[in-house]
């Protein structure tokens, strides 16, 4: 059942509390905010919609992990200032989250004005889903809009407490996330073939995603650290790469189930190896998967593999990508990730959905965000969605 969308909520002229996710890496310094403002940009459509509806827009977010007390380095004002620049309208940054001062400021807001409450996690009640804290923030508004997809997998006061107290709906970002990720799970014939391109650090992080997707797939394409365990399960010598001994049986089982189900499996045929896990490793070369030297580590998929993966992706109508193909943070081991991302970006008429924090980061860094159908803003939340889990922050919203 679809959840109520903001367009279906009577917001005109009202005080609207909007949960956003402005949790950007503030530890990089205030000057760096502009380089990490994707999460701010993602909420602009909802904020603009509410401004157009003459709402008093009251934004709330967490930032970092202050652990229930005030931490000056984790104040939201610098983030609010950046938002004001992006939005082109002033944003009133409040120095408190709740209390009489906040109530007064909100009472003096005019239609179309925007305010930002102080960091929700300055109060322990937020993460504990304390009813009293939820009442305090809900009391500021007439209705509630959930637009923080990245925290929908958390049952906090601002994600599940407040929607129980106010007429509520999904914001435009949450709506787009749910529709795009949902499209990958609810696959119709006209959207096939469907491929899952999977990578990242470990099989264990992705077991539930694999379980949930396997039966729907036409192609399972595996790279990254995850593929190393699969290669080992197939009997290859994987050198000094860290593999997950306790996941070898799972990998074998996935391989045999895929065969039974008629899912085509694609694993690396060549890999980039290094003699040390370091950006400046002295020895780096590309070898066939059966020639990984002892004491060397698999760091990326090889060029031939990247080309073959790209070719298989080119045969699909829908692609779900989660997990980089190599240690992409180190430039010399980022080529596999670059090649598959570039190939996906070049496809026309193909739905390309990217989930996972690191994967989204890689796509953003390559400047390919706009050339994918959807890049999720929710790292952990997007994974839980792909696992088929219920997201408490979505469940808490009323049906349409
Ligand atoms: P996501 O956040 O998109 O779900 P993960 O967190 O699972 O992705 O994986 C990202 C991490 O996987 C990156 O930090 C990357 O360096 C690491 N990684 C990818 N390939 C390898 C590899 N061959 N060896 C070690 N780490 C790898
Ligand atoms: Mg990650």
CATH code of residue 373: 3.40.50.1260
Closest alpha carbon to 144 in 18, 4, 35, 250: 18
Alpha-carbon dihedral sign for residues 333, 337, 340, 343: negative
Task: State the DSSP code for 206.
Answer: T
Measured CA to CA, the distance from residue 61 to residue 41 in angstroms comes to: 14
Mean pLDDT of 103-129: 98
Say how many domains are in the chain: 2
379 CA distance to ligand 2 middle (Å): 7
**Dihedral through CA 97, CA 11, CA 181, CA 379, nearest 10?**
-10
pLDDT per residue as tens digits for the range 286-308: 999 999 999 999 999 999 999 99
Q: Does residue 1 fall inside a structural domain? A: no
92-98 long-range contacts (CB < 8 A, ≥24 apart) are 92/116, 93/118, 94/118, 97/60, 97/122, 97/123, 97/137, 98/123, 98/133, 98/136, 98/137, 98/140
Q: How confident is the model over 154-160, as a mean pLDDT? A: 98
Other CB atoms within a 10 A radius of the CB of residue 34 amount to 11
- For residue 392, tell me if it sits in a domain: no
Q: Which of 124, 156, 173 is the last residue of a domain?
A: 173
Q: Assess whether 142 and 201 both reside in one domain.
A: no
- Residue 1 binned pLDDT confidence (cut-offs 50, 70, 90): confident
Domain that holds residue 373: 180-386
State how far the Cα of 331 lies from the Cα of 354, in Å rounded to an integer.
21
35 and 73 assigned to the same domain? yes
pLDDT score of 183: 85
Which ligand has the shortest distance to the CA of 358?
Answer: 1
Pocket of ligand 1 from Cβ distances under 6 Å: 199-201, 205, 224-225, 228, 298-299, 322-324, 326-327, 329, 356-359, 379, 383
What is the rounded distance in angstroms from the CA atom of residue 273 to the CA atom of residue 289? 10
| Active site members | 39, 202, 357, 380
Same domain assignment for residues 167 and 233:
no
Q: What is the mean pLDDT of residues 7-18?
A: 98
Tell me the per-residue pLDDT of 36-67, one tens digit each, with 9 for 90 and over.
888 999 999 999 999 999 999 999 999 999 99
My answer on whether 94 and 202 are in the same domain is no
Determine whether 331 is exposed, middle or buried from the number of CB atoms within 10 Å of its CB (0-12, 13-18, 19+). exposed
The candidate with the shortest Cα–Cα distance to 77, out of 30, 135, 137, 147, is 30
Q: Which of 267, 268, 262 is nearest to 218 (CA)?
A: 262
CA of 225 to the centre of ligand 2 (A): 12
32 belongs to a structural domain: yes
């Amino acid at each position: 059942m679809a959840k109520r969308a903001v367009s279906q909520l009577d917001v005109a002229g009202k005080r609207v509390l909007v949960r956003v996710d402005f949790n950007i890496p503030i530890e990089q310094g205030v000057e760096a905010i502009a380089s990490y403002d994707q999460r701010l940009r993602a909420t602009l459509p909802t904020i603009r919609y509410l401004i157009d509806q003459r709402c008093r827009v009251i934004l709330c977010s967490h930032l970092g992990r202050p652990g229930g007390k005030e931490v000056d380095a984790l104040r939201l004002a610098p983030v609010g200032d950046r938002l004001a620049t992006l939005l082109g309208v002033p944003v009133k940054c409040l120095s408190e989250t709740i209390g009489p001062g906040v109530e007064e400021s909100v009472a003096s807001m005019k239609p179309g004005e925007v305010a930002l409450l102080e960091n929700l996690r300055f109060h322990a009640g937020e993460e504990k889903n304390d009813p009293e804290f939820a009442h305090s923030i809900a009391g500021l508004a007439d209705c509630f809009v959930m637009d923080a997809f990245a925290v929908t997998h958390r049952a906090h006061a601002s994600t599940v407490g407040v929607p129980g107290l106010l007429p509520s709906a999904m914001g435009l970002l949450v709506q787009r996330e749910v529709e795009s990720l949902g499209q990958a799970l609810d696959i119709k014939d006209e959207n096939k073939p469907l491929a899952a391109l999977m990578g990242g650090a470990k099989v264990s992080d992705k077991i539930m995603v694999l379980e949930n997707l396997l039966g729907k797939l036409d192609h399972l394409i595996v790279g990254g650290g995850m593929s190393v365990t699969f290669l080992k399960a197939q009997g290859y010598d994987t050198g000094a790469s860290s593999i997950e001994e306790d996941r070898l049986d799972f990998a074998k089982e996935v391989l045999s189930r895929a065969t039974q189900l008629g899912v085509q499996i694609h694993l690396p045929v060549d890999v980039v190896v290094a003699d040390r896990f370091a950006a400046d490793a002295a020895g780096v070369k590309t070898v066939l998967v059966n020639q990984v030297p002892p004491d060397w580590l698999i760091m990326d998929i090889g060029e031939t593999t990247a080309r073959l993966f790209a070719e298989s992706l080119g045969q699909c109508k829908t692609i779900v990508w989660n997990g980089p193909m190599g240690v992409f943070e180190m430039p010399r081991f980022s080529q596999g990730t670059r090649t598959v991302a570039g190939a996906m970006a070049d496809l026309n008429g193909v739905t390309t959905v990217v989930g996972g924090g690191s994967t989204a980061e890689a796509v953003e860094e390559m400047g390919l965000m706009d050339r994918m159908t959807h890049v999720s803003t929710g790292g952990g939340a997007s994974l839980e969605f792909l696992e088929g889990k219920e997201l408490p922050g979505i469940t808490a919203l009323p049906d349409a």
